[in-house]
Amino acid sequence: MARLCSSLAVGLRQAGGSSQVNDVAFSPNESHCATCSDDGSVRVWCVASTELLIQFQVLSQSCLCLAWSPPSCGHPEEEHVAAGYSDGTLRVFSITRSAVELKMCPHAAALRALAFSADGQTIISGDKDGLVAVSRLRTGMTFRVLSDHRGAPICTLQSTRKECGDFGAEGTDLWLAASGDQRVSVWASDWLRDHCELVDWLSFPAPGLTEVRVPAAPWAQCPRLPPCTVPPQVPGCLPPSLAAFCPWDPAVLVCAGLGVYPEVVFYSLRQKQARSDLRPGGSMEAVLPIMSQFPEIETCVECSAKNLKNISELFYYAQKAVLHPTAPLYDPEAKQLRPACAQALTRIFRLSDQDMDQALSDQELNAFQTSCFGHPLAPQALEDVKMVVSKNV
């Protein structure tokens, strides 16, 4: 992705565009992508060659967001890109005909996010004032406006095909909206019946008003320029609230940029429960330096009786430490066997080496295994043992 962004950036400059790229949308098969810029342009690129294929231009407006039509729109050859502009207008471009198919004005404020419905016949748009509009692609008519996020810019919109009976709602599509006030709403809809109902509403605590350091992209880094520092008194410059449906399970949300900590949150719509296992500064990070300082510590397990996290692992390692301790056998500082252990293993080897050829044959190894555990090794296990020995001798 970094190489692609770098190549696209170079391509933009070579194509004469020097304004900021605001959004990138990929085609369903990821062979093409579209970018939009402050200069009002929408450019379509070939991902493999980073070649500019098509350019659409709107004068005196900034293009702020994009959405590529899904493959389920009924006409795979009819690919469209929807673009939202700073004056509240929305344009739909035909990729196959390289032309503007539709222009509508569902908003009075600048658009910030777009999404096609799962069947590609409906467009959902969100603006900087928090309004979400739902419009027909064929007619250009806006038939529903939702104001639940009013007062905060819409950061993310996404729609996916999902039967909603599991959540006690009616509908064939699930879609979500995330706004800059740390809120995410999830909806069930059947746009053909003009049906839409709220499934869930997530609210997260606002991040602390401390400085936010925004590093440049790897391809744009310059050793003479420090990362951008956003003053704490500018809440509009905080990272956007991002949310998406999990690709393999649409009943799970993946959220980022939400809450006090820079973390990724997994939320189950079925269980109405969030997981937050990736918070930096957790207890494991505090323990790792201690484990490095004291090599006699064999294992560290982060567990929770409340959340039933790693309980079985805790008992396993506790039992192993008591019944099968490694400290009498191995010196972790010297990284070698202790003398008594080496002497015992040497004696066992000499007793098992009945033909005294300084190597254990398959029969001798199985005889040792039978005397200790009552049965010989399986053929595959025997081959695995010999492979490990051959790699370490």
pLDDT, tens digit (0-9, with 9 covering 90-100), for 54-82: 999 999 999 999 999 988 654 556 789 99
Same domain, 167 and 299: no
Amino acid at 164: C
The pairing of beta strand 41-46 with beta strand 122-127: unpaired
- Answer whether 146's CB lies under 8 Å from 130's CB: no
CATH number of the domain where residue 336 is located = 1.10.238.10
Stated pTM of the model: 0.61
Tokens for 83? Answer: 């673009």
Contacts of 96 (CB under 8 A, 6+ apart): 77, 78, 79
Residue with tokens 């925004």: 214
Interval 298-353: pLDDT, tens: 777 777 777 777 788 788 888 888 888 888 888 877 878 889 988 998 999 899 99
298/326 Cα distance (integer angstroms):
8
Residues 303 and 156 in one domain: no
Residue among 68, 42, 61 nearest 53 (CA): 42
Domain coverage including residue 309: 291-323
Do residue 252 and residue 192 come from a single domain? Answer: yes
The Cα–Cα gap between 202 and 184 comes to: 5
The backbone torsions φ and ψ at residue 134, rounded to the nearest 5 degrees and listed phi first, read -120, 125
Per the structure, the count of domains in the chain is: 3
Do 165 and 174 touch, CB atoms closer than 8 A?
no
Whether residues 373 and 298 share a domain: the answer is no
Distance in angstroms (rounded) separating the CA atoms of residues 104 and 124: 13
Task: Judge whether 345 lies within some domain.
Answer: yes
Q: Residue 23's domain is classified under what CATH number?
A: 2.130.10.10
Q: What is the pLDDT of residues 355-385, one digit of tens each?
A: 989 888 988 988 988 888 888 888 888 888 8
Please indicate, yes or no, whether residues 203 and 301 belong to a single structural domain of this protein. no
